[in-house]
Amino acid sequence: MTPPSNDDLGFSHRTRKNGDVELLHHGKLAGTLRGAAAQDFLAEVHDGSPADAQQLMARLTGNYKHGNERTAAGHPRNRR
């Protein structure tokens, strides 16, 4: 498993014996990469910083902010 970093978003990963990569979010399985996708992921994580790895895992699992959270807060149905 990957060690936590200063820019920790709660993601980690582990490689299985068969080459699959499991992406974990706060210790729970968030996604699995197989084949070429797993190898590409491992190469990118190896070459990048821990913060970049966190962002990559967030994008791959779909668990990231989309940029519209601030505008959505001002929508009439969300104001209370």
Per-residue pLDDT of the chain (80 residues; tens, 9 = 90+): 555 445 788 999 999 999 999 999 999 999 999 999 999 999 999 999 999 999 999 989 986 666 666 676 777 877 76
Tokens of residue 76, six digits: 């009439």
pLDDT of residue 5: 43
pLDDT of residue 77: 79
pLDDT for residue 43: 95
Which bin fits 10, alpha (ψ -120 to 50), beta or left (φ > 0)? left
Question: CA–CA separation, 53 vs 9, rounded Å?
Answer: 10
- The pTM for the full model equals 0.71
